A = this chain, B = another copy of it.
């Protein structure tokens, strides 16, 4: 259980560790972008039973995710990105800077499906977006970095981006 957005650092550490977390969001803050079954948030102050309800739900989900092995269990040939921003695929790998790692992670979670620009912005900049063009630029950079390992990012105009294995 942690305060948000103050404890963003702690949040990402817990997130990377695969542990559940409940973000306490003060009135007046925007709700956080949640992209994960093990994360939830609640407005504080909140009634005690509401907090308990959410914590319980997280506990149940956490169990489900670990006992099923349903968590991320990509095959050996599927791309994976580790906690240090190293993306491995086909036996080769690239190191990604933090920002691009977050973007890549978001895209990877929906490999083969569209990831909206909006979601990418929230994934890349959890505490507030920079200029309107930043995402485009970073997607461009990410593209260049991913080409050598055989991953492509396609744009779906006015919708978002779609990551897929490059043909060939």
Interface of A toward B, CB cutoff 8 Å: 30-37, 40-41, 43, 49-50, 53-54, 56-57, 60-61, 63-65, 67-68, 71-75, 77-78, 82, 84-86, 95, 97-98, 109-114, 116, 119, 154, 156-160, 162
Contacts and interface: CB of A to CB of B under 8 A. Distances in A.
Given A34-B53, A53-B34, A86 B114 contact: yes
A112 B72 CA distance: 9
A63 B64 CA distance: 17
A57 B86 contact: no
A74 B67 CA distance: 12
Contacts of A30: 49, 53
Contact of A78 (B57, B63, B71): B71
